[in-house]
Amino acid sequence: MRLFGGIGESQNIVGLDIGSNAIKLAQLALTRDGLALRKAGSTLTPPEGMKNGIIIDPLGVSQAIASLMEALQVDASLAVGGVAGPSVVVRQVSLPAMSAKQLRQSIQWEARNYISFDVEDSILESQILSRATPGEDSSMMDVMLVAAPRQMVEACAHTLELAGLEPLAVEVQAFAAMRTIVALNGAAEDTTLALVGIGASFTEITIIKGENFILSRIIPIAGNSITEAICSSLEIGKEEAELLKETALQAVLSEEERARLDPAAQQASRAIEPLMDELIREIRRSLAYHDYQQKLPDAGAKGQGADQILLSGGSAKLVGLAEYLQAQLGIPTAVAGMFGATPSDSNQESLGFLKEHAPTLVIGVGLALRELMPAATGKSRRPARSDRQVSNEPPATHDSSEVAVAGGRKAE
């Protein structure tokens, strides 16, 4: 994988996407020839390792990470972790116009209106995105607010430490996914992309325009709920249901296809249909909200929403999912990949993993890129020790660069 060329020192960073189902690892290096994906792999998250996006068994999860690193022969010790889930807030809000200093002082108060958990127990960041242009209401300004429960961020950093890694930052996963897509796909300024990441516990839809983050929303339908629907409809165990699930959607696409299946597979496809309908409704709702927020004209039932949908996460491997969403939403849809990337210095395990699981690497790669991209593009941004403080400091707010780098949206 070559994204940029001819840059100095060799630096290795591990991006770790720790999900409720699986831990995904990507080791990226910045070499003289540019950025290279060196190692990639995954391992199952220990049962009960994570709950509601919070690692509740740091020791167990760290042991799984350490074993994975050993298997992949990871030779890096700097790492970036990610957080996601219903309790992570990433919102563009409109606040009374004020200076950056005033915002820092008042954000905790303002944030109470937007987050459902205790502000005192959270880590908050804010960034002024834009002030009113002449002719607009000058009493207000747009601010990006990012908040996560302190316990969630700290447990992630602690787990990386237990695994023998030095956590440089803990970032919102949606930003990491966006960074990978923008870096690998290029970002046409007027193109709106909806990244739909479907994991085990939740689906996250992130809408970006060009290089700019627009919004992110969590939908509580994903791999687990699909498996559970099959389990309860057929009264079978999880393992059997997982197997039936892989191809169940194909049959939803066509009645003829369904009629050819054996009875169990037919029932599985019927069981997942209402869930898929609900997922479509929620995606449509997010796209409609995007249109409303961006003040786009009403484009009817299908909505304007996005020019393209890119799918990622383990459940993006559901056979026929891209075709299904495209047919239902009328928007070109594809599964995100590493776009022809080949690990440059990789063992067979990483190569095999990449071939089969590229859509699950989108977040891990983006987390590692966080530290490498500024250097690769020539801006000096040492893997910042101060970034670690995002996860460890009291809930003082961090203005400007943190969210700017994370969100990819230009600050004022």
Ligand X SMILES: Nc1ncnc2c1ncn2[C@@H]1O[C@H](COP(=O)(O)OP(=O)(O)OP(=O)(O)O)[C@@H](O)[C@H]1O
Kindly list the residues in this chain that would bind ligand X in the complex (CB under 6 A): 19-22, 199-202, 222-224, 227, 242, 245-246, 313-315, 317-318, 360
| Measured distance CA(112)–CA(118) in Å, rounded | 8
| Diameter over CA atoms, the chain | 66
Per the CB < 8 A criterion, the answer to whether 203 and 196 are in contact is yes
Interface mask toward Mg ion for 273-312; x: CB under 5 A: ----------------------------------------
Element (H, E) at 243: helix 238-253
Distance CA 79, CA 96 (A): 37
Q: How far is the CB of 85 from Mg ion (least distance, A)?
A: 9
**Smallest distance from ligand X to CB 17, Å:** 6
Instruction: Pick between residue 362 and residue 390 the one whose CB is nearest to Mg ion.
Output: 362
- Check binding of 19 to Mg ion (CB under 5 A): yes
Q: Which does 315 bind (CB under 5 to 8 A by kind): ligand X, Mg ion, none?
A: ligand X
**Least CB distance to ligand X at residue 349 (A):** 17
> Comparing C-alpha atoms, which of 332, 335, 334, 331 is closest to residue 303?
331
Helix, strand, or coil (residue 75):
coil
Closer CB to ligand X, 90 or 95, in the complex: 90
Question: Least CB distance from residue 152 to Mg ion, whole Å?
Answer: 14
Considering only residues 195-214, where is the footprint of Mg ion by CB under 5 A?
A: 199
Q: Name every residue whose Cβ is closer than 8 Å to that of residue 364 and which is 6 or more positions away in sequence.
A: 15, 16, 17, 24, 25, 26, 40, 176
- The three-class DSSP label of residue 150 is helix
Under 8 Å between Cβ of 79 and 388:
no
Question: Which two tokens mark 224?
Answer: 């687990």
Q: Which is nearer to ligand X, 242 or 257 (CB)?
A: 242
DSSP secondary structure, 19-50, as one string: -SSEEEEEEEEEETTEEEEEEEEEEEPPTTSE
Smallest gap, in angstroms, from Cβ of residue 199 to ligand X? 3
| Piece of the chain touching Mg ion by CB under 5 A; list 122-130, 192-200, 246-254, 300-308 | 192-200
Q: Which stretch binds Mg ion (CB under 5 A): 16-24, 42-50, 278-286, 395-403?
A: 16-24
Q: 1 or 231, CB closer to ligand X?
A: 231
- Nearer to ligand X (CB atom), residue 35 or residue 241: 241
Question: What token pair was written down for 391?
Answer: 């996860």
390 binds, among ligand X, Mg ion, none (CB under 5 to 8 A by kind): none
Least Å distance between CB 377 and Mg ion? 27
Which region, left, alpha or beta, applies to residue 238 given φ > 0 means left and ψ of -120 to 50 means alpha? alpha
21 binds, options ligand X, Mg ion, none, Cβ within 5 to 8 A by partner type = ligand X
Selection from ligand X, Mg ion, none that 272 binds (CB < 5 to 8 A by kind) is none
Choose among Mg ion, ligand X, none what residue 49 binds, the Cβ cut-off being 5 to 8 Å by kind.
Answer: none
In the complex with ligand X, the residue whose CB is nearer, 12 or 312, is: 312
Element containing residue 127 per DSSP (H, E): strand 122-131
- Of the pair 21, 346, the CB lying nearest ligand X is at 21
Q: Is residue 199 within 8 Å of residue 185, measured between CB atoms? A: no
Tell me the closest approach of the beta carbon of residue 350 to ligand X, in angstroms. Answer: 17
Go through 258-290 and write b for each residue having 16 or more CB atoms within 10 A of its CB, e for each that does not: beebeeebbbbbbbbeebbeebbebbbebbbbb
> Which residue, 174 or 375, has its beta carbon nearer to ligand X?
174
Q: Give the residue with the Cβ less far from Mg ion, 90 or 95.
A: 90
Residue 288 C-beta: closest distance to ligand X, Å: 24
Sheet of strand 212-219: strand arrangement:
212-219, 203-209, 192-198, 308-312, 333-335
Three-state secondary structure readout of 341-376: CCCCCCCHHHHHHHHHHHHHHHHHHHHHHHHHHHHH
DSSP 44-70: EPPTTSEETTEES-HHHHHHHHHHHHH
The count of chain residues that interact with Mg ion, using the rule CB under 5 A, is: 2
Residue 60 interacts, among ligand X, Mg ion, none and using kind-specific CB cut-offs from 5 to 8 Å, with: none
Shortest separation between residue 336's beta carbon and ligand X, angstroms: 12
Q: Which stretch binds Mg ion (CB under 5 A): 126-134, 191-199, 333-341, 373-381?
A: 191-199
User: What is the nearest approach in angstroms of Mg ion to the Cβ of residue 211?
Assistant: 23
State how far the alpha carbon of 400 is from the alpha carbons of 54, 128, 290, 407, in Å. Answer: 26, 7, 24, 11
Q: Is 49 in the site for Mg ion (CB under 5 A)?
A: no
User: Where along the sequence are the contacts to Mg ion (CB under 5 A)?
Assistant: 19, 199
